[in-house]
Amino acid sequence: MIVRQQPSFKDILFAIRGSILPRIARRLVTIALLSVVAILAAIEHPGIFAKISAVPFTLIGIALSVFMSFRNNACYARWWEGRRLWGELIISCRSFARQTSTLGEKDRRFLLRSLCGFAAGLTARLRGDDEPAAIASWCTLDNVDKAPNPTNEVLNQVGKYCLTLMHQEKIGAIHYSVLEKQLAQLSDVQGGCERIASTPVPFTYSLLLHRTALIFCITLPFALAGSLGWWTLLPVLLVAYTFFGLDALGHQLEAPFSLEPNALPLNAMQRIVEREMLGLLGEKELPPLLEPHNDVLS
DSSP secondary structure letters along the chain: -B--PPP-HHHHHH--TTSSHHHHHHHHHHHHHHHHHHHHHHHHSTTTTTT--SHHHHHHHHHHHHHHHHHHHHHHHHHHHHHHHHHHHHHHHHHHHHHTTTS-HHHHHHHHHHHHHHHHHHHHHHTT--HHHHHHTT---TTTTTSSSHHHHHHHHHHHHHHHHHHTTSS-HHHHHHHHHHHHHHHHHHHHHHHHHH-PSPHHHHHHHHHHHHHHHHHHHHHHHHHHGGGGHHHHHHHHHHHHHHHHHHHHHHSTTSSSTTS--HHHHHHHHHHHHHHHTT-SSPPPPP--BTTB--
For position 227, what pLDDT does the model report? 85
pLDDT in tens, 204-222: 888 888 888 899 999 999 8
Q: Give the Å distances, CA to CA, from 252 to 15, 122, 257.
A: 19, 20, 9
For position 142, what pLDDT does the model report? 83
For position 17, what pLDDT does the model report? 66
Q: How confident is the model at residue 101 (pLDDT cuts 50, 70, 90)?
A: very high
Q: How confident is the model at residue 63 (pLDDT cuts 50, 70, 90)?
A: confident
For position 45, what pLDDT does the model report? 85
Predicted confidence (pLDDT) at residue 167 exceeds the cutoff of 70 = yes
Predicted confidence (pLDDT) at residue 4 exceeds the cutoff of 80 = no
For position 132, what pLDDT does the model report? 93
Predicted confidence (pLDDT) at residue 121 exceeds the cutoff of 70 = yes
* For range 103-122, the mean pLDDT: 95
Of 179, 177, 190, which is closest to residue 107 (Cα–Cα)? Answer: 179
For position 126, what pLDDT does the model report? 96
For position 10, what pLDDT does the model report? 63
Predicted confidence (pLDDT) at residue 16 exceeds the cutoff of 80 = no
For position 6, what pLDDT does the model report? 67
For position 200, what pLDDT does the model report? 87
Q: How confident is the model at residue 97 (pLDDT cuts 50, 70, 90)?
A: very high
pTM strictly above 0.85: yes
